[in-house]
Amino acid sequence: MTTDSRASAAFLIDEALGFWFPAALRAAAAVGVADHLADGPRSPDELASATGTDAGNLYRVLRLLATRGVVAEDPEGGFRLTPLGDALRTDAPHSARSAILMNTDRSLWWPAASMDRCLTEGTSAFEGIFGMPFFEHFAQDAETAAVFHEGMAAMSDPENAPIAAAYGFPDAGTVVDVGGGHGGLLLEVLRGRPGLRGVLYDQPHVLAGHRLDTEETKGRWSVAEGDFFTAVPAGDVYLLKRILHDWDDDQSVTILSRCREALAPGGRILVIDAVVPRDNAPHQSKTLDVLLMAALVGRERTEADFEALFTAAGLRLSRIVPTPTVLSVVEATAV
Ligand SMILES: C[S@@+](CC[C@H](N)C(=O)[O-])C[C@H]1O[C@@H](n2cnc3c(N)ncnc32)[C@H](O)[C@@H]1O
């Protein structure tokens, strides 16, 4: 074995150990460590009694989190929150806590551990583990649903305003947010455009958590429940943010076709997803793509993939508007 091959092996082994960091991040988020550091540094003993945890083990988790700047240990042994770790607080602006709990939930963790089945069997790993498709699993009880939908809203929260600002939305007509979750993006699109109306379309248990009812949007929003494979409400602009990536090509064409059928003349369908770059560089879409493979039946797509979907649904790709987030607005119009 040469020195280089030793270094390569050591590197790959370190990579394989990498999953323990998100596990520690999850543990800290689950017990609410950051909420108890908001007022300044505390010793592991103080933190342990505030969070009802074991002080020795809590210290070990914090020591690992400090290696990536989430917290910092001072020379006296106290831990403080860094500006990075501040985003772990439950009430931080754009708090990441719920998104971390969702992204490390066993509904994703267990399929990740079974990813080899995706390769050997050519299928998603989720149904084999949980006995039902992804969204059914999350709809089965309120607590499980909250993990996903609050997590999804938290994941979307920092990207909604930049997306709403990056695309030239009209100030008239009706925007339908298809599978819009709690409505964070629709709210940002309606803000500052007083002539625009919005419809939030999703499943009933999701709509119960919507946040559209604000002074600024008074009288300009409604919610509609239904199944986007069957029909969608009429509108001038459709938003499909992180929707098509959950589904396979045939299912995606069905969703797009339902939107095209309901689209007003001259209207637009905006697919807001990552456009996977064709290079070897890291990109969140390449990570989410294997998540979607293992836990759902979907995929992240390239520009050519979107063109093919649109053509099959009687649409054409008119332009791609990049945003400051990892997502782009892929605009489609009727042929
Ligand atoms: C990945 S989340 C995206 C939520 C939101 N657009 C965002 O970016 O935060 C997918 C959404 O699709 C909704 N959904 C799943 N299946 C659906 C269906 N058949 N009809 C309507 N909505 C559905 C889910 O409830 C969820 O809110």
- Return the CATH number at 44: 1.10.10.10
Short-list 84, 86, 75, CA closest to 40: 86
Mean pLDDT over residues 129-146, rounded?
A: 91
Short-list 222, 211, 203, CA closest to 154: 211
Query: Which member of 36, 182, 210, 245 is catalytic?
Result: 245
- pLDDT tens sequence across 153-162: 999 999 999 9
- Which of 242, 248, 297 maximizes ligand 1 atoms within 8 Å of its Cβ, making it the mutation to test the pocket? 242
Mean pLDDT over residues 254-274, rounded?
A: 98
Tell me how far apart the alpha carbons of residues 319 and 331 are, in angstroms, rounded to a whole number.
Answer: 5
User: In 10 A of CB 54, how many CB atoms?
Assistant: 12
- Indicate whether 251 and 120 sit together in one domain: yes
Q: HSE (CB half, 13 Å, CA atoms) of 167?
A: 31
The pLDDT, as a whole number, for residue 139 is 87
241 C-beta closer than 6 A to ligand 1:
yes
Q: Domain residues for 274? A: 109-334
- Indicate whether 139 and 285 sit together in one domain: yes
- Indicate whether 185 and 64 sit together in one domain: no
246 C-beta closer than 6 A to ligand 1:
yes
List beta partners, residue 329: 272, 321
With a cut of 70, say whether residue 46 has pLDDT above it. yes
Mean pLDDT over residues 223-252, rounded?
A: 98
Q: Does 99 fall in a domain?
A: no
User: Which among 91, 119, 140 is the end of a domain?
Assistant: 91
With a cut of 60, say whether residue 1 has pLDDT above it. no
Mean pLDDT over residues 10-34, rounded?
A: 98
Burial class of residue 231, CB neighbours in 10 A (0-12, 13-18, 19+): middle
- Looking at residue 116, which CATH number applies to its domain? 3.40.50.150
Q: What is the pTM of this model?
A: 0.94
The pLDDT, as a whole number, for residue 241 is 98
Q: Does 170 fall in a domain?
A: yes
- Indicate whether 58 and 126 sit together in one domain: no
Range scoring the smallest mean pLDDT among 52-66, 126-140, 215-229, 244-258: 126-140
- Indicate whether 260 and 313 sit together in one domain: yes
- Indicate whether 78 and 143 sit together in one domain: no
Distance, first Cα to last Cα, the chain? 60
- Indicate whether 157 and 34 sit together in one domain: no
Mean pLDDT over residues 171-181, rounded?
A: 97
CA of 144 to the centre of ligand 1 (A): 15
- pLDDT tens sequence across 69-124: 999 999 999 999 999 999 999 999 999 999 999 999 999 999 999 999 999 999 99
The chain-wide mean pLDDT, for the chain, equals 96
Q: What percentage of the chain carries pLDDT values higher than 90? A: 96
Catalytic annotation on 245?
yes
Q: Does 235 fall in a domain?
A: yes
Task: List Cβ neighbours of 286 (8 Å cut-off, separation of 6 or more).
Answer: 276, 300
157 C-beta closer than 6 A to ligand 1:
no
Give me 65's structure tokens.
Answer: 């989190």
For CA atoms 48, 53, 58, 62, give the dihedral sign.
Answer: negative
- Indicate whether 167 and 199 sit together in one domain: yes
Mean pLDDT over residues 141-166, rounded?
A: 94
If one counts the domains in the chain, the total is: 2
With a cut of 80, say whether residue 293 has pLDDT above it. yes
- Indicate whether 85 and 227 sit together in one domain: no
- Indicate whether 151 and 277 sit together in one domain: yes
Mean pLDDT over residues 238-248, rounded?
A: 98
User: Which among 37, 58, 91 is the end of a domain?
Assistant: 91
Categorize the per-residue pLDDT at 141 as very low, low, confident or very high, splitting at 50, 70 and 90: confident
- Indicate whether 318 and 286 sit together in one domain: yes
